Amino acid sequence: MTRDLTGDFQTQRQAVDHIPYPTLTVRRDRLARLARMTKHHQLEIIRAIQTDFGKRSDVEIRIAEISSVLHAIRHARLHLWHWMRPWSVSMPWRLLPARARVSPQPLGIVGVMSPWNYPWSLALMPVVDAFAAGNVVMLKPSELSPATSALLMRLVPQYFTHEEFKVVEGDVEIARRFSSLPFDHLVFTGSTAVGREVAQAAGANLTPTTLELGGKSPAIVAGDADLDKAAAAIIFGKGMNGGQTCIAPDYVLVESRHISALTKALSEAIQQQRPNDQAATHSINVTHQQRQDALLQEAHDHGCRIIDHGAHAPALIIDPHQGLQVMREEIFGRCLPVIGVNDMQAAINFVNARPHPLALYAFTLDKGLQQQLLQTTHSGALVFNATLLHHAVPSLPFGGIGESGMGAYHGRHGFERFSHLRSVFYQSKRTPSHMLYPPYRRWLMKLIG
Ligand code: NAD
């Protein structure tokens, strides 16, 4: 496919040049249309996502794909007037009576590249924040969720002009060319490996990027934790979307003396939450399913104990060797290694010896340990006694650090991420020029110190 993307891009550039600062009313209207597009076509969205996945729970689609977008829009529409207001900053007394403030300004055209795992919400969540900040958007959804991408392609022009919001479908070649366009900001959600390529392509244009990447998010279970509650939360996070969630717990670290009790609790949680393999989301395609099977097979061949409750439910791999594939790559599926460590310091060392994760989950009520984790580890988010729920707090910045990404969005953080925070200085008419400009007075040097 050899599509020319520059024509679409130029159309948007002209629109931005024509209206560089959309008003509050225009932005709220764009957000309202985005909400209507999501609300009025819920059944089509559910059907498209189920077509892409083969099988996916419609309750999960409603929670994670539809209502997450609607909540984000509601939050932005409610707070936008406040976010858009310039704010004054304090002035050093030497420069008084001048004034200074910060004035958020739209960047222009924001490019969004989205993955297949939450094909509606991860395509639209960055659009919400980009619209709130007064930008127009070009979106390239994933080719691995073609039914949802086709639905976006069909619905978006019914609610938006091409100048406001353009969807571009296509394969990896189109994705490469998309990431080479001279956007004013580019948001990429996907794997760390592709994120590197996207950042390089954007770097050639000096386009700033927000990279929402993946990695292995650990769950640490401390000795004081309620094992049943910890297991329920871990299986909730792993079971959601068949483990195909960027912030799913990737593996569990627990003190060795508790490993068999925790394994039992995890196993019970699987049976409770995913009985008879029901209500489990399937892998996005055969290749991904086969990859999970291969991870399990390799662990089995190396003598690991495996507890498998069905083809689509979380599968526990007890104490795998660190050289196995399941411990070297992001799992992004139903496998869940459970690893014994001597103590909590060993768990922290284990996490710190690996790239910074997108989320770090810790199950403990011990304030000292909580403080230790806060001060001695790095991660996009640190979550105590729960999994995934931080994603639903619109006032928390969502993003990674190091290999799990750069830059964060959601709520006000997204508004500021996709705005230019412009410094504005107002000199006072009461400041006499001769006080500042050459020839310099002796007393001025004293004043500067
Ligand atoms: P991916 O990196 O394989 O693909 C993402 C997008 O990049 C696709 O649309 C694809 O067309 C495009 N692409 C592929 N090769 C490219 C190239 N060379 N240049 C430019 N674009 C290219 O990711 P995926 O498999 O769709 O998603 C899974 C990954 O995404 C996991 O690692 C997961 O952790 C991560 N993820 C992160 C977040 C987050 O918010 N941090 C959310 C969801 C998924």
Burial 93-130 (b: 16+ CB within 10 A, else e): eeeeeeeeeeebbbbbbbbbbbbbbbbbbbbbbbbbbb
| Widest CA span in the chain | 86
Given the structure tokens 């592709």, which residue do they identify?
A: 194
The share of the chain scoring above pLDDT 90, in percent, equals 87
Kindly tell me if the per-residue pLDDT of 2 is higher than 60: no
What pLDDT shows up at residue 3?
66
DSSP string over 212-268 = E----EEEEE-TTS-HHHHHHHHHHHHHGGGG--TTSEEEEEEEGGGHHHHHHHHHH
Assign 278 a pLDDT band (cuts: 50, 70, 90). Answer: low
Q: Which residue owns the Cα nearest ligand 1 atom 23? A: 190
Q: Is 143 designated active site?
A: no
% of the chain exceeding 70 in pLDDT:
98
Other beta carbons within 10 angstroms of residue 407's beta carbon come to: 19
**216-241 residue pLDDT tens:** 999 999 999 999 999 999 999 999 99
Q: From the alpha carbon of 171, which atom of ligand 1 is closest?
A: 11
Average pLDDT over all residues of the chain:
94
pLDDT tens by residue, 328-366: 999 999 999 999 999 999 999 999 999 999 999 999 999
Residues in the chain: 449
0.90 exceeded by pTM:
yes
Spatial separation of the C-alpha atoms in residues 86 and 278, rounded to whole Å: 52
Residue nearest to atom 14 of ligand 1 (CA): 172
3-state secondary structure of 167: strand
Note the pLDDT tens digit of each residue in 38-50: 999 999 999 999 9
Q: Could you give the CA distance from residue 325 to residue 196 in angstroms, rounded to a whole number?
A: 21
Rounded to an integer, what distance in angstroms lies between the CA atom of residue 104 and that of residue 414?
12
CA of 113 to the centre of ligand 1 (A): 8
Q: What is the distance between the alpha carbons of residues 174 and 3, in angstroms, rounded to a whole number?
A: 7
Q: Which of 152, 191, 209, 213 has most ligand 1 atoms within 8 Å of CB, for mutation? A: 191
Whether the predicted pLDDT of 1 surpasses 50: no
- Residues enclosing ligand 1, CB less than 6 A? 113, 115-117, 122, 142-144, 172, 175-176, 179, 189-191, 194, 197-198, 212-214, 246, 330, 332, 358, 400, 405
pLDDT tens digits, 397-443: 999 999 999 999 999 999 999 999 999 999 999 887 777 788 887 77
CA distance 15 to 184: 14
Round to whole Å and give the CA distance between 269 and 265.
6
Please tell me the predicted confidence (pLDDT) of residue 55.
Answer: 82
Dist. CA 125–CA 147, nearest whole Å: 19
Structure tokens at 112: 């969004």
**Per residue in 140-173, pLDDT tens?**
999 999 999 999 999 999 999 999 999 999 999 9
